[in-house]
């Protein structure tokens, strides 16, 4: 609920804005009037050409007056509104988000809390996956661990000697 002081400030603001609207409208009307009076000094041929331009300006001025009237009627002076406009990637959204955080907007604060929870959850998932990968790597390392030199040489030598013995036996029997 607005206090009396807030309502007075809102009414003062509304009156100031309406004053600006009326000054701008009066200035635009004065411009059209001045153009018409200046055009009276021109010869008839120039006057006809300039009259078309003045009529176009007057028509645009009427549309402007209508827009100003609608704006004055639809304006909300109890709320403070800021509009941002500019080129793409100029930082408009960044400024808006910074203001939402700075002023502690409830919706933005809950989104930040959700993002922190999500970051923590994803961090735990990442840690778990890293542990699983490390365990698999350790198992692979054990599986491919080099055998002692004696084992690498002894078995092939034993197999070679057994093969020679079988070969010699076969040759002896065949003779």
pLDDT band at 26 (very low <50, low <70, confident <90, very high): confident
Long-range pairs for 3-10 at CB < 8 Å and ≥24 separation? 6/78, 10/77, 10/78
Q: Is residue 114 pLDDT above 90, yes or no? A: yes
- Model confidence, pTM: 0.38
Q: Where are the alpha helices (DSSP H) in 75-148?
A: 92-102, 106-143
Q: What pLDDT does residue 4 have?
A: 63
pLDDT band at 68 (very low <50, low <70, confident <90, very high): confident
Q: Give the C-alpha separation, 49 to 84, whole Å.
A: 40
Contact criterion met (CB below 8 Å) for 39 and 47: yes
Q: Is residue 42 pLDDT above 80, yes or no? A: no
Highest mean pLDDT among 34-38, 60-64, 73-77: 60-64
pLDDT band at 124 (very low <50, low <70, confident <90, very high): very high
Q: What pLDDT does residue 123 have?
A: 94
Highest mean pLDDT among 16-25, 40-49, 129-138: 129-138
The mean pLDDT of the chain is 81
Radius of gyration of the chain (CA): 45
Q: Count the Cβ atoms, other than its own, within 10 Å of residue 54.
A: 19
pLDDT band at 78 (very low <50, low <70, confident <90, very high): low
* Higher local confidence (pLDDT), 143 or 114: 114
Q: What pLDDT does residue 130 have?
A: 92
* Higher local confidence (pLDDT), 104 or 114: 114
Domain locations along the chain: 1-78, 106-145
């Amino acid at each position: 609920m607005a206090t009396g002081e807030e309502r007075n400030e809102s009414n003062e603001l509304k009156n100031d804005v309406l004053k600006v609207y009326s000054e701008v409208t009066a200035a635009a009307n004065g411009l059209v009037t001045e153009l018409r009076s200046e055009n009276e000094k021109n010869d008839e041929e120039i006057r006809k050409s300039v009259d078309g331009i003045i009529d176009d300006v007057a028509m645009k001025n009427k549309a402007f007056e209508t827009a100003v009237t609608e704006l004055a009627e639809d304006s909300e002076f109890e709320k403070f509104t800021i509009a941002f406009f500019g080129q793409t990637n100029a930082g408009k959204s960044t400024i808006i988000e910074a203001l939402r955080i700075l002023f502690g907007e409830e919706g933005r604060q809950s989104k930040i809390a959700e993002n922190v929870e999500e970051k923590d959850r994803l961090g735990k998932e990442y840690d778990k996956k890293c542990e699983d990968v490390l365990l698999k790597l350790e198992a692979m390392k054990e599986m491919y661990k080099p055998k002692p030199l004696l084992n690498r040489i002894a078995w092939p030598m034993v197999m070679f000697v057994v093969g020679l013995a079988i070969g010699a036996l076969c040759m002896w029997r065949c003779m």
